[in-house]
Amino acid sequence: SAVISQKPSRDICQRGTSLTIQCQVDSQVTMMFWYRQQPGQSLTLIATANQGSEATYESGFVIDKFPISRPNLTFSTLTVSNMSPEDSSIYLCSVALQGGQGLPEQFFGPGTRLTVL
């Protein structure tokens, strides 16, 4: 398994500003994912961030809005840029590890609850 921490745990921001969310893992992992959970909704994948390569974004998400860094195998950041109230969500970091039978398992951080006014 993996222990994942995120900072900040929550924040309230003004529209037009940016917030960088940090994700720290207690072991080296190749695959990391960033998800968004809008109020009352399910989790939606924003991007996949593998160390040593550019992040891969899902449809509807772009690098200018959600730039991601992956400087090493235990750390990643997601920035929410030029925020609007529609960006109010919980942002979750996730890592994939090799589980039983050689199949990948995902573990999630506690999430960052963002409110944009």
Q: Which stretch binds other proteins (CB under 8 A): 19-27, 45-53, 66-74, 75-83?
A: 45-53
| Alpha-carbon separation of residue 19 from 42, 52, 60, 103 (angstroms) | 22, 23, 19, 34
CA 98 to chain centre: 20
Q: Which stretch binds other proteins (CB under 8 A): 12-20, 21-29, 75-83, 97-105?
A: 97-105
Dist CA 37 CA 112 (whole Å): 10
Q: If binding is defined by CB under 8 A, does position 75 make contact with other proteins? A: no
Q: Please answer whether residues 96 and 31 qualify as being in contact, where contact means their C-beta atoms are separated by less than 8 angstroms.
A: yes
> Residue 97, interface with other proteins (CB under 8 A)?
no
Binding residue (CB under 8 A) for other proteins from 76, 83, 87, 111? 111
Binding site for other proteins (CB under 8 A): 31, 33, 35, 41-43, 45, 48, 50, 92, 94, 96, 100-101, 103-111
